[in-house]
Amino acid sequence: MFGAALGPVLGGVLTQLFDWRAIFVVQAPVAAVALLATGGAVALADEAPRRRKRGALAADAALGLVFAALVGALFLAVLLVITVWGLEPITGALVVSTLPAATLLARSLGRSLSPWAAVWGGAALLAAGLVALALLPRVSNALVALALAFCGVGLGLAVPVLTRASLDADAGIVRSGAITVSARHAGLVLGLALVAPLLTGSLDKAGERALLGGTKTILDANVPIRKKVPIALALRDALESAQKGEVPDLGKPFDDAGAQSNDNVRQARDDLVNTLESALTRGFRSSFALAALFAALAVVPVWRLRRASMARRFTSIRPNNHQSRRKYLFDLGLNA
């Protein structure tokens, strides 16, 4: 889980320092080391297959939903700060690095909480961080970093507990672990499959709003008409020549018109860029909200897992021991 959160950060650093191809070059030896590490586990693969407990399946379902939410916390956040806001890859990596850092720090906090408190609190923090990203009031790297920190704490609390609950030794630890890893990957695929088309449709509408807002900004700018016309034509050419999915450099026409020395031209440039970035940022809202919904839904299988656990603990007390039942229920109410 920590590796999945750290991957985009390292990818941004490698892209900035070398090239995007470096990401795949580095992954080759990492995969080779992982392959060697599995050599010791091959001997365990001879386990007799048994049916897994219901609690393990519920934990896998919750893990899948948590990792579907992780798509929003990483995939969408990286797209937002680098593609829309135009941050350099290494700067975007620093912003996103708050997520794995918070994930690592949350592990110690999780040890002091009950399993249910860790899972429910983690899912709530993950959902809250994604809602905060959906409702960003302005373009702000600090706010994105803070929201991702909430997501990281949520992941650090929930995922270790769910992973332990999903590993059923009676059904075979290797087989159980393989199913758990598959559940995580299925969650990532589900998140991408639902978030990507939603984001595409939202950005198309946001692009139309950005175009209208940008046109109004240029018309209202305190710039002489002899400068406005060349700027408008240059902006049109930049938009038409940009590849699909590419954000063109809209500041260059203003710089060519003297933004470095003319305060009015510079202000018009900043207003236009802010208008476009704000409109496109709002286009991410529905996708972040969907990712937050995944995090919130993770509580549903966890609730079933808890009910099953309570039932097993309750029935383990002898029926004639009424006082023990009352004490168990009292402790459960205080410690759950």
36-94 pLDDT per residue, tens: 555 544 444 445 556 666 678 888 899 999 999 998 888 899 889 988 888 888 888 88
Distance, in Å, from the CA atom of 219 to the CA atom of 262, rounded to the nearest integer, reads 17
What is the C-alpha separation between 285 and 264, in angstroms, rounded? 32
Q: List pLDDT tens digits, range 248-286.
A: 677 777 877 777 788 888 888 888 878 888 888 889 999
Best CA proximity match to 194, nearest among 65, 324, 19: 65
Q: What angle do CA 145, 147, 153 make, to 5 degrees?
A: 100
* Distance from C-alpha of 202 to C-alpha of 19, rounded to nearest angstrom: 30
Domain membership flag for residue 112: yes
- How many domains does the structure of the chain reveal? 2
In the chain, the N- to C-terminal Cα span, in Å, equals 26
Q: Find out whether 76 and 288 touch, Cβ atoms under 8 Å.
A: yes
* 61 lies in the same domain as 176: yes
Cα separation, 175 vs 36, whole angstroms: 19
Q: Are residues 142 and 256 in the same domain?
A: no
Find tokens 């009352």 and name the residue.
326
Statement to judge: residues 300 and 222 lie in one domain: no
Position 170 pLDDT exceeds 70: no
pTM as predicted: 0.73
Is 10 contained in some domain?
A: yes
Which pLDDT does position 310 carry in this prediction? 46
Residue 47: inside a domain, yes or no?
Answer: no
Please check the confidence at residue 15 and state whether its pLDDT lies above 70. Answer: no
Q: Which of 261, 282, 303 is the last residue of a domain?
A: 282
pLDDT band, residue 129 (cuts 50/70/90): very high
Q: In sequence order, what are the residues at sequence separation of 6 or more whose Cβ sits closer than 8 angstroms to the Cβ of residue 247?
A: 83, 84, 86, 280
| pLDDT, tens digit, 9 for 90 and up, residues 286-314 | 999 999 999 999 988 877 666 555 445 44
Cα Dmax for the chain: 94
The answer to whether the CB of 156 falls within 8 A of the CB of 73 is no
**Are 269 and 301 in the same domain?**
no
Q: Kindly state whether residues 275 and 308 are assigned to the same domain.
A: no
pLDDT greater than 50 at residue 6 = yes
Q: Are residues 67 and 167 in the same domain?
A: yes
Answer yes or no: do 146 and 236 share one domain. Answer: no
Count CB-CB contacts under 10 A for residue 163. 17
Q: How many CB atoms lie within 10 A of CB 10?
A: 17
User: Which candidate, 159, 218, 211, places its Cα nearest to that of 187?
Assistant: 159
Instruction: Give the single-character DSSP code of 221.
Output: S
Residues 7 and 94 in one domain: yes
The answer on pLDDT for 100 being more than 70 is yes
- The mean pLDDT of the chain is 76
Does 77 lie in the same domain as 192?
yes
In a domain? residue 45: no
Q: Is 48 part of any domain?
A: no
At residue 336, the pLDDT reads 39
In this structure, the answer to whether residues 171 and 269 fall within a common structural domain is no
CB 131 within 8 A of CB 151: no
Contact 198, 285 (CB under 8 A): no
Mean pLDDT of 224-229: 79
> What range does the domain containing 233 cover?
203-282
Instruction: Please provide the DSSP assignment of 109-164 as one string.
Output: HHHTS-HHHHHHHHHHHHHHHHHHHHT--S--HHHHHHHHHHHHHHHHHHHHHHHH
Give the per-residue pLDDT at 158.
92
Mean pLDDT of 133-161: 93
CB within 8 A of 235, min separation 6: which ones? 214, 218, 250, 253
pLDDT at 315: 44
Rounded Cα distance, 250 and 214, in Å: 11
CATH of the domain at 195: 1.20.1250
Rounded percentage of the chain residues whose pLDDT exceeds 90: 22
Question: Does residue 266 sit in the same domain as residue 302?
Answer: no
Quick one: 174 and 298 in the same domain? yes
Q: Give yes or no for a contact between 145 and 98, defined as CB atoms under 8 angstroms apart.
A: yes
